Amino acid sequence: MSDDNRTPNEQGPVDGVSESAYGAWHRRVLEGRAGLFAVATAVAISIGGLAEIVPMFTATDMGVGEDMPITPYTPLEVAGRDLYVREGCYLCHSQMVRPMRAEVLRYGEWSRAWEYRYDRPFLLGSRRLGPDLHRIAGKYPDAWHYEHMRDPRATSPGSIMPAYPWMLDRTVDPRIVTKSLRALQRVGHPYVDVTEENVRGSMQAQGSDIVASLQSAGIESQWDTEIVAMIAYLQRLGRDGKAVLSGIGAEQEEE
């Protein structure tokens, strides 16, 4: 038996395989063709991107859950949602409870499509370094959220969540919130009379209620601080859906 150390290219065709068949098998269409490979990659990415982006601009309710009493976010909640996006909270927290027993037991009713009617952009999330937040509304008092944002370890020992102390002092500008509402109005959200005066009044009214709640726990704050807007948003997550689903559940029990 000879000791043949030649490479396959040097050895020629494999035993029992014709030279033409061996050459066809051995050939690589994209190897060494950077331009063709780049074009093929760009086409593949474009198709995948269009498949994800186009539905966001063309999808409608299509009758799914259109009779469900889901309301758009208030101005203060819109401000809080913008802050939630700004701070990257959606990178560690999801907003989608999956229909699995373990998730329902931990987080509550699984999420329905119609609950996201006024979510632009959607914040479903792709991983959970922290717990899912879609049913967080009403789970904790306002003071808990205040302390949790100030120092997560104060309310959740061992938490790896960073602190956000600057939100306790920074304020929200109603003019910017007004622009956000007008943008949402243009894509179909049913806001009316979107003026800076009305937005400021709505934010102050809802924010004052949260401030009063914090004061009862010995915490001083102002209605226009970022932390108050964030609390408003967190206390809204899943609220309408829970109300609807609890009502449906009660009706089914009666039947």
Orientation of helix 196-215 relative to helix 75-86, angle to 10°:
80
Structure-token pair, residue 78? 């819109």
d(CA 131, CA 128): 6
- Which pLDDT belongs to residue 62? 47
What's the rounded mean pLDDT across residues 125-140?
93
194-211 residues labelled b (16+ CB within 10 A) or e (exposed): beeebbbebbbebbeebb
pLDDT in tens, 202-225: 999 999 999 999 999 999 999 999
Q: Which amino acid is at 16?
A: G
- Which pLDDT belongs to residue 223? 96
Q: Exposed (0-12), middle (13-18) or buried (19+): which is 108, by Cβ within 10 Å? A: buried
pLDDT in tens, 46-55: 999 888 888 7
The least confident of 23-32, 135-144, 169-178, 220-229 is 23-32
The least confident of 7-11, 40-44, 154-158 is 7-11
The two most distant CA atoms of the chain are separated, in Å, by: 94
Instruction: Spell out the domains of the chain, with CATH numbers in brackets.
Output: 8-52 (no CATH), 73-254 (1.10.760.10)
- Which pLDDT belongs to residue 246? 82
The pTM assigned to this predicted structure is: 0.74
Does residue 29 surpass a pLDDT of 70?
no
What's the rounded mean pLDDT across residues 119-143?
93
